């Protein structure tokens, strides 16, 4: 009887050992990067316009990709990628940002370092050329996470960042958009926010987000972009996230942190967690529409969105890369 019991125990151990040996190994990327430049709309973007957008998305991608390929940090990669996007007038961040109902620009940005969970942000700034640079300096040179308005601008000046007149951010397209909204007594669709997430060769994850907010917004309105855990999060052990969408909804659902929590606490995969938050939470809320870009600790990239259009580009050390605006079959 004892011999049979011992045999059964040994047999079970062999089966368990065999199962463990057959577990698929996760291929870890040496580095990965993904960016977005806003999501929104109920119609696909025309092909010729999409091709124009993809030129700028690929240029932004090259900025961050080059840093990572040369052994640079994820923090530098996301910051410089977002700086490029802030300087491009096509998007709703920095130059080309949307206007408030009184015809001004109020900008928000955030950045987070997944290696130490440090974060920095600015909100409601009107004269800092590149808000993401100010966000990083808040993280690295103050004991704070978020500075707003005139206080953020004064800090930026102290740190030697470029200060510009508010009119620098204005484009004719955004002026026309505001005029139409005021005529209709309406508020604009939230789209055009930019962001980037990266994993570097040292295994560090960083994420950054920058926006002009919502067209025709009230003076002083702050959305999700500068709120850590709503739009932006980074943790080396789990995931990095940058988001774009209706800021009030993203804040109420703590979108970035929710994706992180579903992975960390419930063991969901990155794809499962992003799908759950975008489609089963955000998509069911009135006024929804937007998306997330994410990279997990292995360099896996997920871009999840419930809109017809999401400007995005991505690259991995293994060679996978691309840029898209409309949905593509491969995703």
Active centre residues (catalytic): 193
The pair phi, psi for residue 35, each rounded to 5°, is -135, 160
Cβ 326 vs Cβ 42: under 8 Å: no
SS3 call for 235: strand
Residue 147 three-state SS: strand
> In terms of DSSP H, where are the helices of 144-218?
149-158, 172-184
Contacts of 188 (CB under 8 A, 6+ apart): 98, 177, 181, 214, 215, 216
Q: What pairs with residue 163 in β-bridges?
A: 128
d(CA 131, CA 83): 8
Contact 294, 305 (CB under 8 A): no
How far apart, in Å, do the first and last CA atoms of the chain sit? 57
3-class DSSP assignment, residue 110? strand
Give dist(CA 250, CA 242) in Å, integer. 11
> Which tokens is 49 given?
């316009």
Give the SS3 label for residue 179: helix
CA angle 137, 140, 146 (to 5 degrees): 65
Q: Are 207 and 241 in contact (CB under 8 A)?
A: yes
Helix (H, G, I), strand (E, B) or coil at 30: coil
Task: Find the angle CA(11)-CA(12)-CA(17) to the nearest 5 degrees.
Answer: 100
**CA 225 to CA 125: how far, in whole Å?**
13
């Amino acid at each position: 009887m004892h011999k049979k019991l011992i045999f059964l125990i040994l047999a079970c151990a062999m089966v368990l050992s065999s199962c463990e040996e057959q577990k698929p190994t996760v291929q870890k990327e040496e580095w990965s990067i993904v960016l977005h430049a806003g999501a929104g709309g109920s119609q696909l973007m025309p092909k010729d316009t999409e091709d124009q957008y993809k030129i700028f998305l690929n240029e932004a991608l090259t900025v961050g990709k080059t840093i990572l390929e040369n052994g640079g940090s994820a923090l530098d990669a996301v910051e410089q990628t977002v700086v490029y996007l802030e300087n491009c007038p096509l998007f709703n961040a920095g130059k080309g940002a949307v206007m408030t109902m009184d015809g001004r620009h109020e900008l928000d940005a955030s950045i987070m370092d997944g290696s130490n969970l440090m974060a920095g942000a600015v909100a409601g700034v009107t004269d800092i050329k590149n808000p993401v640079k100010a966000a990083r300096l808040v993280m690295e040179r103050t004991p704070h996470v978020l500075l707003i308005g005139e206080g953020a601008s004064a800090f930026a000046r102290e740190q030697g960042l470029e200060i510009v007149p508010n009119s620098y951010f204005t484009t004719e397209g955004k002026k026309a958009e505001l005029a139409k909204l005021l005529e209709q007594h309406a508020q604009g669709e939230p789209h055009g926010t930019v962001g980037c997430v990266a994993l570097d060769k040292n295994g560090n994850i960083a994420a950054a987000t920058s926006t002009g907010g919502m067209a025709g917004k009230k003076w002083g309105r702050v959305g999700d972009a500068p709120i850590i855990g709503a739009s932006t999060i980074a943790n080396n052990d789990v995931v990095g996230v940058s988001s774009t969408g209706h800021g009030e909804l993203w804040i109420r659902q703590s979108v970035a942190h929710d994706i992180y929590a579903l992975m960390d606490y419930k063991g969901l995969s990155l794809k499962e967690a992003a799908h759950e938050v975008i489609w089963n939470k955000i998509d069911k809320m009135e006024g929804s529409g937007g998306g997330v870009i994410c990279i997990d600790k292995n360099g896996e990239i997920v871009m999840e969105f419930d809109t017809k259009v999401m400007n995005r580009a991505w690259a991995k050390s293994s060679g996978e890369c691309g840029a898209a605006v409309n949905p593509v079959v491969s995703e």
